[in-house]
Amino acid sequence: MSLPHAILTALLEKPSSGLELTRRFDRSIGYFWSATHQQIYRELGKLEAEGHIRALPSEQPARGQKKSYEVLPAGRAELARWTAASQDPKPHRDPLLLRLRAAAVVGTAGLEADLNRHLELHRRQLADYEKIEQRDFPPGKDAPHDRIRHLVLRAGIDLETFWTQWLTHALEEFAELPESGTT
């Protein structure tokens, strides 16, 4: 049940329409909670029905017409409740590690190319994050809420750093491996 709360957070940062939210999910928030526009519209409808957000009255609602939303006090309260509530960490799912484990059984043929591709993608993501860090968090002076945001960004940077290192190491190991199990 995280998507509605991701949307509430985004709307508190800045009231937006569905499409604006979609774009913001593609950038900042989507780095750790992605969503498509279909999901977002569906969820906006639910949140409005529950009285957590409302459409800004200025805009008239029609199909091709922009509709912006803002968070109501009930929505903010719900977000605060959810943030403070204890949640168990969900079990992890990583297809790449699963594939590696499968490769240990059926052979590593063909995997190396995709490992290289993933390495490149993680390097690019890392470079993006580091650019954001330089732009938004110049050393020295963070306001309290900026320090929290910086902390979140650091998690992203460190995770991408981990993956680039791990993939590099994995590829080195692959290079040493005998050409096992071509099928």
Question: Which residues here bind DNA, judged by CB under 7 A?
Answer: 1-3, 17-20, 34-39, 41-42, 44-45, 61-68, 90-91, 93
H/E stretch holding 53 = strand 53-55
Q: What's the closest the beta carbon of residue 26 comes to DNA, in angstroms?
A: 12
Of 100, 123, 130, 137, the residue at the interface with its own copies (CB under 8 A) is 100
Q: Which residue, 62 or 84, is less far from DNA as judged by CB?
A: 62
91 in contact with its own copies (CB under 8 A): yes
Q: What angle do CA 37, 1, 17 make, to 5 degrees?
A: 30
Calculate helix-pair angle for 37-49, 3-13, nearest 10 degrees: 80
Q: In the set 27, 46, 117, 131, which binds its own copies (CB under 8 A)?
A: 117
Q: Which residues pair with 17 in a beta bridge?
A: 68
Handedness of CA 160, 166, 170, 172 (dihedral sign): positive
Q: How far is the CB of 91 from its own copies (least distance, A)?
A: 4
Lookup: tokens for 180: 């096992």
Is residue 66 within 8 A of residue 41, CB to CB? The reply is: no
Query: For residues 150-179, which are near its own copies according to CB under 8 A?
Result: 151-152, 154-156, 158-159, 162, 166, 169-170, 173, 177-178
Check if the beta carbon of residue 109 is closer than 8 Å to that of residue 181: yes
User: Taking the complex as a whole, how short is the minimal distance between the CB of residue 6 and DNA, in angstroms?
Assistant: 9
Q: Which is nearer to its own copies, 59 or 106 (CB)?
A: 106
